[in-house]
């Protein structure tokens, strides 16, 4: 694999060797923000009352399983 084969999601249009430090910082910030939002959403899901869980088609066990996933896993 060469440096031009590496893809950085939204930066795929540019060779990896030309990805600037600022681009990498922005990408890291975006990833951390995504992980934080995922953690908050899973906590909110776990705290939902039964009738709302039923409305979205899951039960308490499903909500707990989603909550227990590592923050980096979709």
How many structural domains is the chain composed of? 1
Residue 60 counted as domain residue: yes
H or E segment at 59? none
At residue 27, what are phi and psi to the nearest 5 degrees? -65, -45
In a domain, 43, yes or no: yes
Residue 48 CA to residue 74 CA, distance in Å, equals 20
Q: Is residue 1 part of a domain?
A: no
0.85 exceeded by the pTM?
A: no
Q: Which domain holds residue 36?
A: 18-68
Residue 27 maps to a domain: yes
Question: What are the pLDDT digits (tens) for 18-44?
Answer: 789 999 999 999 999 999 999 999 999
Q: By the 8 A CB rule, do 64 and 46 touch? A: yes
Residue 4: HSE in the Cβ half-sphere, 13 Å Cα cutoff: 0
> pLDDT by residue (tens digit) across 45-72?
999 999 999 999 999 999 999 999 999 9
- Calpha distance 34→18 (Å, rounded): 25
Q: Is residue 73 part of a domain?
A: no
In a domain, 9, yes or no: no
């Amino acid at each position: 694999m060469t440096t031009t084969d590496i893809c950085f999601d939204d930066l795929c249009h540019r060779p990896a060797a030309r990805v600037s430090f600022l681009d990498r910082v922005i990408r890291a910030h975006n990833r951390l923000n995504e992980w934080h939002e995922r953690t908050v959403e899973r906590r909110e899901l776990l705290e939902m009352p039964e009738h709302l869980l039923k409305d979205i088609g899951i039960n308490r066990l499903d909500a707990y399983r989603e909550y227990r996933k590592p923050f980096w896993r979709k």
